[in-house]
A and B are shown apart, each in its own frame.
Chain A
Amino acid sequence: MEQAIAPTAPIRQSSPVSGRSAHLLRLLRRDRLALLGLVILVGFVLIAIFAPLLAPHDPLAQNLRASRLPPAWQEGGSWEHPLGTDRLGRDLLSRILYGARVSLLVGFFGATLACLLGLAVGVLAGYLGGWVDALISGLVNLLLSIPYLVLVIVVAALVGRSLVNVILLFGITTAPLFARVVRGEVLRLRAMAFVEATVAIGTPPLRVLLRHIVPNLTGPLVTLATFEMSAMIFYEAGLGFLGLSVPPNVPSWGNLLSTGRESLMAGMPWLSLYPGLAIALTALGINLLGDWLRDATDPRMRR
């Protein structure tokens, strides 16, 4: 379960942001694995968005008379339920498709929340310095000193199970990671010649911040957010395993895998096999893309 906490972003030149995208696209086309990652991620997002159109059934609709059907190609299965059904007769494929929604919500909003919180707090600390910095850095270090999984599990056990709680939980507990990266970058950028120059000619601080510093944070933040998104999808599965994720009736991948694991050795392996594959594939895709993003936004890798 030890997931990518992306290493602190490598040192970056302060080259202007514009004109980079064309270059990025060219790079992307050259790296087939990254392209695969992008395809997987886009596919995953599309599935999550269009789940209601793609899913053959309502993921919550029970049919106790058609429960525990195996996948269609196995004996006893039917194409009515391509990946089979669970013990309440709910369609597994539909649940996995809708599960992508939960995972996307958790991963996307979790990472976004963490990113925004981290950005706000990190910029404050890095820019204001002094006691604000000391306080924030102290808190950040405190939260980062407790192994992430332990922190998440303990808090999850305390706050109770709901989708919002899980998103908040991931967002807040991951924010320190972003804050640390942002603070470091801000400190570094502030010392850079071009920023010092703009400050010297009397540009207001907020403007310096928004125009010159925040845009330069995009690279490392997007990279980190990408890794954290896949980490959160993964952690959701882990919480599900311990019975601490979203409520059991919500078809999240973590819940599917957790109830499915008992079925692994109880004659219904499909119930955990396919959710497991979905998680692994998505994590793989996002990580591939993240790797590439890191390399691509790191100028020294651009050769």
Chain B
Amino acid sequence: MLQRILRILGAMAIVGALAACAAPAPSPGAGGEAVSVAAGDAAAPSSPSGVLIVALPLDPNSINPPNAADRMAGNVINQIFDSLLEVDNVTNELRPSLAPEWTVSEDGMEYTFKLREGVRFHDGSPFDAQDVVATFEAGKDPVNAYASAYANVTVEVVDDYTVKLKPSTPDVTFLRSLVGYNIISAEQFAAEGNAGIEVRPIGSGPFKFVEWSKGNRIVLEAFEEYWDEGKPLVQQVIFRPIPESSTRLAAIQTGEVHIINRLSADEARTLEGVDGVELITYPADRVYYIAFNNLTTGVGKPTEDVRVRQAMNYAVDRQAIVDSLFGGNARLSAGFVTPWNLGFDESLQPYPYDPERARALLAEAGYPNGFTIGMACPIGAYTSFEDVCQAVANYLAEVGITLEGGEIEFLESGVYWDRQSKKELPPLFGDSWSAAVGEALPRLVGALGGWQESYSAWSDPEIDRYLAAISSTFDVEARAALYKELQAYMYENPPFIYLYEPITFEAIRSAVKGYAPNSVEQYYLKHVYLAE
């Protein structure tokens, strides 16, 4: 334990001493405070200069906004396109982008936006209400990954620079979710359709698209007529996909790239003290858990008994797992709402490791000698998660809960999600869920919505009631209170074996200034520059 504290202090000291760009642990509610330029750093350049090279852990599937299925694709898109709103680089709060002003109707079903005038797309065409219409029109093509999300919104043009957006169902996170709807050019969509955007995306963002050589590089160049004065600060951004983590680690050391992300704690440690490299660490808004199933494969299993589910939560030594596999760099999870979500209940303590209590609860439920149950985990989806699953299984075995077939059913992640969407996974299955809207609602609904949701295997009328209430409560404080009640309920009636919320490591070259990813790994490179 002491060693762990020292290690964390060590890591903090290094990051702190070098003082550049690190996003320190955000306080609950806010996304983190400013870190930026420390004294002695070179000032931001007056005109864009330099080439910034960013390593990606995978080649984006697409850089057409409604198709960006993963975070890395989203991060490329965010540099090319603007949205109506954006998230502040540092405070993680909503702020205007293409829409400087907005009003929300009382029932939360109508959002009126004033649009910024004088904005131009990279092809020179002016931005107006028609582009917002085109954005949602293009997005709802069913081939797109996010088609249904786009289809849920109707756009009404009030005048050239005013639009009304109407979600089809009440959605308390609607405003926040608009950050993810990147505005495309109506001219381009009319002329080239989605296929055209796939190959040559035209946005109004700080960088314009130059080329994408798949698997090799994506090149963007500063857009001189960007509406946000004085931005961007670098002349060129080049994204380089490097799938092998060891190679990424090599490339940051040689200086071939300026930014790498998704480092494991072990990898981050090897970069400590490396000349010209700085570590960035921040907690991720992502929850890892082992889910129970009471819809299909888990029907009639002991896990339907709440005491059994509690017992399983007591049986796992989360701290030991986190220490051993993540060098202590993760928050132990006590629920499905994280500290950076609305309505987080900080009084809730993670289930302690208490195998005695677990055995007692199992005995009380009628399983003094434990039982046998199936468990599955995905392969290659998340950092060290295969190891986490094995550790969990090991702890369960210690209280007598053994696995069907004697081992975890490991499935390649594609197959895994396929089976998950058909609710065919065994009664215990591992997974994780992030949230990009600052609230836990989407992941709560996604994982616990019962038959309505593809990836849910759990249904609990009480939880349903809470979710329905939260979805329709537009008052923020009332909603926060509901979240707290739900957390308390889900603590006593756990639909998961709660595990952890990871701390993310990234590394940058010392010359990189102003880089501040938020808790869901998003970043805006228009603020970044390279010191001499």
Direct contact of A and B (CB under 8 A): yes
Residues of A participating in the B interface, judged by any CB pair closer than 8 Å = 62, 64-65, 67-68, 87-89, 157, 160-161, 243-244, 247-249, 259, 261-268
A243 touching B379, Cβ below 8 Å: yes
Q: A160-B411, A249-B408 are in contact. Are A88 and B387 (CB under 8 A)?
A: yes
Q: Among B245, B324, B325, B386, which residue has its beta carbon within 8 angstroms of that of A248?
A: B386
B246 touching A247, Cβ below 8 Å: no
Which residues 234-248 in B have Cβ within 8 Å of A in the complex?
245-246
Q: Is B152 an interface residue (CB 8 A)?
A: no
B245 touching A64, Cβ below 8 Å: no
Q: How far is the CA of A265 from the CA of B253 in the complex (A)?
A: 11
- The interface residues of chain A lying within 8 Å CB-to-CB of B323 are 64
Which residues 371-395 in B have Cβ within 8 Å of A in the complex?
379-380, 384, 386-387, 390-391, 394
Which bucket holds chain B's interface residue count?
A: 20 to 34
A267 touching B270, Cβ below 8 Å: yes
A68 touching B324, Cβ below 8 Å: yes
B390 touching A88, Cβ below 8 Å: yes
Q: Among A62, A249, A265, A268, which residue has its beta carbon within 8 angstroms of that of B410?
A: A249
Q: How far is the CA of A87 from the CA of B389 in the complex (A)?
A: 13
Q: Is B101 an interface residue (CB 8 A)?
A: no
- The interface residues of chain B lying within 8 Å CB-to-CB of A244 are 412
- The interface residues of chain B lying within 8 Å CB-to-CB of A259 are 387
In the complex, the chain A residue whose C-beta lies closest to that of B388 is A88
Which residues 293-336 in B have Cβ within 8 Å of A in the complex?
317, 320-321, 323-325
- The interface residues of chain B lying within 8 Å CB-to-CB of A68 are 324
Q: How far is the CA of A88 from the CA of B380 in the complex (A)?
A: 17
Q: A249-B410, A262-B264 are in contact. Are A89 and B249 (CB under 8 A)?
A: no
Q: Is B407 an interface residue (CB 8 A)?
A: yes
Q: Is B176 an interface residue (CB 8 A)?
A: no
- The interface residues of chain A lying within 8 Å CB-to-CB of B321 are 64
B264 touching A62, Cβ below 8 Å: no
Q: How far is the CA of A194 from the CA of B415 in the complex (A)?
A: 57
- The interface residues of chain B lying within 8 Å CB-to-CB of A89 are 324
Q: Among A64, A160, A268, which residue has its beta carbon within 8 angstroms of that of B317?
A: A64
B324 touching A67, Cβ below 8 Å: yes
In the complex, the chain B residue whose C-beta lies closest to that of A262 is B245
B384 touching A266, Cβ below 8 Å: no
A247 touching B410, Cβ below 8 Å: yes
Q: How far is the CA of A262 from the CA of B244 in the complex (A)?
A: 9
Q: A161-B410, A247-B407, A248-B390 are in contact. List 17 more A-B contacts (CB 8 A).
A: A62-B390, A62-B391, A87-B325, A87-B384, A87-B387, A157-B412, A160-B411, A243-B412, A249-B407, A249-B408, A262-B246, A262-B264, A262-B267, A263-B266, A265-B249, A266-B264, A266-B267
- The interface residues of chain B lying within 8 Å CB-to-CB of A264 are 246
Q: A65-B320, A266-B270 are in contact. Are A88 and B246 (CB under 8 A)?
A: no
Nearest chain A CB to B484 CB, angstrom units:
32
Q: How far is the CA of A160 from the CA of B413 in the complex (A)?
A: 11
Chain B 387-423, CB within 8 Å of chain A: the 1/0 string?
A: 1001100100000000000011111100100000000
Q: Is B269 an interface residue (CB 8 A)?
A: yes
7 closest A-B pairs by beta carbon, nearest first, are A266-B266, A64-B320, A64-B324, A67-B324, A248-B386, A247-B410, A266-B267
Q: Is B42 an interface residue (CB 8 A)?
A: no
Q: Is B250 an interface residue (CB 8 A)?
A: yes
B412 touching A160, Cβ below 8 Å: yes
Nearest chain A CB to B57 CB, angstrom units:
13
Q: How far is the CA of A244 from the CA of B412 in the complex (A)?
A: 8
A88 touching B325, Cβ below 8 Å: yes
- The interface residues of chain A lying within 8 Å CB-to-CB of B415 are 160
Q: A64-B391, A68-B324 are in contact. Are A265 and B408 (CB under 8 A)?
A: no
- The interface residues of chain A lying within 8 Å CB-to-CB of B411 are 160-161
Nearest chain A CB to B324 CB, angstrom units:
4
- The interface residues of chain A lying within 8 Å CB-to-CB of B390 are 62, 88, 248-249
B408 touching A247, Cβ below 8 Å: yes
- The interface residues of chain B lying within 8 Å CB-to-CB of A265 are 246, 249-250, 267, 270
- The interface residues of chain A lying within 8 Å CB-to-CB of B246 are 261-262, 264-266
In the complex, the chain B residue whose C-beta lies closest to that of A244 is B412
- The interface residues of chain B lying within 8 Å CB-to-CB of A161 are 379, 410-412
B394 touching A62, Cβ below 8 Å: yes
Nearest chain B CB to A170 CB, angstrom units:
19
A248 touching B391, Cβ below 8 Å: no
Q: How far is the CA of A244 from the CA of B408 in the complex (A)?
A: 16
Most buried by B among A259, A262, A263: A262
Q: How far is the CA of A73 from the CA of B408 in the complex (A)?
A: 34
In the complex, the chain B residue whose C-beta lies closest to that of A85 is B324
Q: A67-B324, A247-B410 are in contact. Are A267 and B266 (CB under 8 A)?
A: yes
Which residues 210-241 in B have Cβ within 8 Å of A in the complex?
none
Nearest chain A CB to B409 CB, angstrom units:
8
- The interface residues of chain A lying within 8 Å CB-to-CB of B245 are 262
A266 touching B269, Cβ below 8 Å: yes
Chain B 460-492, CB within 8 Å of chain A: the 1/0 string?
A: 000000000000000000000000000000000
Nearest chain B CB to A298 CB, angstrom units:
42
In the complex, the chain A residue whose C-beta lies closest to that of B248 is A265
A-B contact pairs, 14 of them (CB 8 A): A62-B394, A87-B325, A87-B387, A88-B325, A88-B394, A243-B380, A248-B410, A249-B386, A259-B387, A262-B266, A265-B270, A266-B246, A266-B266, A268-B266
Nearest chain A CB to B56 CB, angstrom units:
18
Q: How far is the CA of A99 from the CA of B85 in the complex (A)?
A: 55
Q: How far is the CA of A157 from the CA of B414 in the complex (A)?
A: 11
In the complex, the chain B residue whose C-beta lies closest to that of A157 is B412
B324 touching A87, Cβ below 8 Å: yes
Most buried by A among B245, B323, B324, B379: B324
Q: How far is the CA of A243 from the CA of B386 in the complex (A)?
A: 11
In the complex, the chain A residue whose C-beta lies closest to that of B384 is A87
Nearest chain A CB to B416 CB, angstrom units:
11
- The interface residues of chain A lying within 8 Å CB-to-CB of B249 are 265-266
- The interface residues of chain B lying within 8 Å CB-to-CB of A62 are 390-391, 394
Q: How far is the CA of A261 from the CA of B317 in the complex (A)?
A: 27
Q: How far is the CA of A247 from the CA of B416 in the complex (A)?
A: 14
Nearest chain A CB to B526 CB, angstrom units:
32
Q: How far is the CA of A261 from the CA of B243 in the complex (A)?
A: 14
In the complex, the chain A residue whose C-beta lies closest to that of B321 is A64
Q: How far is the CA of A68 from the CA of B320 in the complex (A)?
A: 13
Q: How far is the CA of A244 from the CA of B264 in the complex (A)?
A: 22
Q: How far is the CA of A268 from the CA of B325 in the complex (A)?
A: 13
Q: How far is the CA of A38 from the CA of B292 in the complex (A)?
A: 52
- The interface residues of chain B lying within 8 Å CB-to-CB of A157 are 412
Nearest chain B CB to A165 CB, angstrom units:
12
- The interface residues of chain B lying within 8 Å CB-to-CB of A261 are 246
Chain B 501-516, CB within 8 Å of chain A: the 1/0 string?
A: 0000000000000000
Nearest chain B CB to A257 CB, angstrom units:
13
Nearest chain B CB to A144 CB, angstrom units:
27
Nearest chain A CB to B307 CB, angstrom units:
26
Q: How far is the CA of A166 from the CA of B245 in the complex (A)?
A: 26
Nearest chain A CB to B134 CB, angstrom units:
39
- The interface residues of chain A lying within 8 Å CB-to-CB of B324 are 64-65, 67-68, 87-89
In the complex, the chain A residue whose C-beta lies closest to that of B253 is A265
In the complex, the chain B residue whose C-beta lies closest to that of A268 is B266
- The interface residues of chain A lying within 8 Å CB-to-CB of B386 are 248-249
Nearest chain B CB to A207 CB, angstrom units:
46
